[in-house]
Amino acid sequence: MEYEAVIGLEVHVELKTASKAFCSCSTAFGAPPNTQVCPVCLGLPGVLPVINRQMVEFGIKTALALNCSIAPICKFDRKNYYYPDLPKNYQISQYDLPLARDGYLEIEVDGVKKRVGIIRVHMEEDAGKLIHGEEPGADYSLVDYNRAGVPLLEIVSAPDLRSPDEARAYMEKLKAILEYLEVSDCKMQEGSLRCDANVSVRPKGSTVFGTKTEVKNLNSFRALHRALSYEIERQISLLERGERIIQETRAWDEQRQVTYSLRSKEEAHDYRYFPEPDLVPLAIGEEWIERVRSTLPELPDARRERLIKDYGLPEYDARVITGSKALADYFEKAVSLFPDPKQVSNWLMGDFMRLLNAKGLEPQEAPVPPENLAELLKLQQEGTISIRIAKEVLEEMFATGRGAREIVEAKGLTQITDVAQLTAIVEKVLAAHPKVVEDYRKGKEKALGFLVGQVMKETRGKANPNLVNQLLKERL
């Protein structure tokens, strides 16, 4: 039997506010444990929460970008459960009257466009963080409450995704939108963006949902894709053996590349939701919504179309570059200094991203500013350095942060264009490879490429390749 997957994602986004959701504690990442806490976020007796206005505005902004309807009245609720990193034994969240509903996000996979529904966007506070003892025999966990109370948005998709590829495309598109809105830094490695995936399988063509499992706290695109791929195969294997799928919450083990059971799946009534008695309902008027709407930036799809129109970029290039706001900003700055959009695009998508990925950096963290990349491309365009040397210089720029011209002059990398000097090297290479010369004269065009390579090797990549080609052909 052929099966299909049914996937819905619950994405948790830490908002980039200066203070927590209901108190004035800092949200800065990386502070010493339990130094950014107060009686309110620790839930001590007699304290009262106060709503962070910036959290609400970031929520409205996100909901508008996701084509949602904003609720005129929403309220906060208590979601009750016990866990050591939840100091109050409840989480302030939203249940039946969330901030926004009924939106959508458009994705494209293998050239096929698809609209994925957004069921709801709601506000809540984050829990703390548990650090489990890792040494052999460790039987303790440490608790850091700095994260407790950090404002979150939960964005719940409809079960419209049908493959791990679609789920990954959805997460990548959502991350890009959030970055463009500047409501979150979206640093998945720091937990600013993470998701829970609900997944089930059913016979292809069926409209009845199968029993779903939830895979918790996936904090990278790769983990999301691999966890879903594993879980889909696991569920199909169970059905084909005639076994029952249990509705449960599972976790992803990155080392073993498997999901494993955590607990039976909770239902809403298990959390004993009731209205948060210390916070009044929130009225969101049209004037407030329109004021936030007026602050919406150009979003990824619109920017992609503009890059195609204004810079003549191919669709693929524009899609890759606008997938990150920081990369798109970098591109436009570089093009303003070196007006060859396709050349800039090629370097960004090639060596620039390769070096960023090798260092585990985001585009905004690149040690090479757009001005320095533009300087490098000008040196290559002018013929001062060859493309091979330009690639080496870029690596040096990433390693040291120095400018291109400075590196070229300090290391003596200027391209050799002296005809007499290159002629002598060409004669030497031809004399050393008589068989290759004979092959070329018999019509083997590829032999020329070998000879060019030998000249470049002799000059450590500094020879002008066009001049080398010309001199070789003259002598051959």
pTM: 0.84
- Rounded CA-CA distance 68/157 in Å is 12
Same domain, 278 and 356: no
CATH of the domain at 455: 1.10.10.410
Give the helix/strand (H/E) hosting 320: helix 315-322
pLDDT at site 125: 96
Q: Is there a contact between 33 and 144 (Cβ–Cβ < 8 Å)?
A: yes
- Rounded CA-CA distance 356/347 in Å is 12
Q: Of 373, 391, 410, which residue is a domain's last?
A: 410
Q: Using N-to-C axis directions, what is the helix angle for 286-293 and 53-65, rounded to 10°?
A: 70
State the total domains in the chain: 3
Can you give the residue range of the structural domain that contains 463?
419-475
End-to-end CA distance of the chain: 65
Same domain, 179 and 328: no
pLDDT at site 415: 63
Same domain, 276 and 383: no
Match 């990925």 to its residue by tokens: 357
Q: Of 370, 391, 410, which residue is a domain's last?
A: 410
Match 């990349």 to its residue by tokens: 373
Q: Is there a contact between 277 and 298 (Cβ–Cβ < 8 Å)?
A: no
Q: Of 236, 263, 291, which residue is a domain's last?
A: 291
418 CB-near residues (< 8 Å, 6+ apart): none
pLDDT, one tens digit per residue, over 336-346 is 999 999 999 99
Measured CA to CA in angstroms, residue 224 lies from 149, 200, 219, 221, 343 at distances of: 26, 15, 7, 5, 34
Same domain, 95 and 156: yes
DSSP bridge pairs for 112: 109
Same domain, 24 and 155: yes
Same domain, 10 and 75: yes
Residue 31 is classified by DSSP as P
Angle ∠(97,179,229) on CA atoms, nearest 5:
80
Same domain, 386 and 423: no
Q: Is there a contact between 383 and 357 (Cβ–Cβ < 8 Å)?
A: no
Low-confidence residues of the chain: pLDDT under 50: none
Same domain, 216 and 332: no
Helix and strand totals (H; E) in the chain: 16, 16
> How large is the greatest C-alpha to C-alpha distance in the chain, in angstroms?
94
Q: Using N-to-C axis directions, what is the helix angle for 404-411 and 370-381, rounded to 10°?
A: 50
Same domain, 98 and 205: yes
How many other β-carbons are positioned within 10 Å of the β-carbon of residue 260? 10
DSSP bridge pairs for 124: 152
Same domain, 73 and 186: yes
Q: Cα-Cα-Cα-Cα dihedral of 349, 355, 358, 363, to 10°? A: -70
pLDDT at site 268: 65
Q: Using N-to-C axis directions, what is the helix angle for 315-322 and 325-337, rounded to 10°?
A: 120
445 three-class SS: coil
- Rounded CA-CA distance 343/347 in Å is 6
Same domain, 353 and 403: yes
Same domain, 278 and 377: no
- Rounded CA-CA distance 5/229 in Å is 10
pLDDT at site 417: 63
> CB-hemisphere CA count at 13 Å for 204?
6
pLDDT, one tens digit per residue, over 280-300 is 999 999 999 999 999 999 999
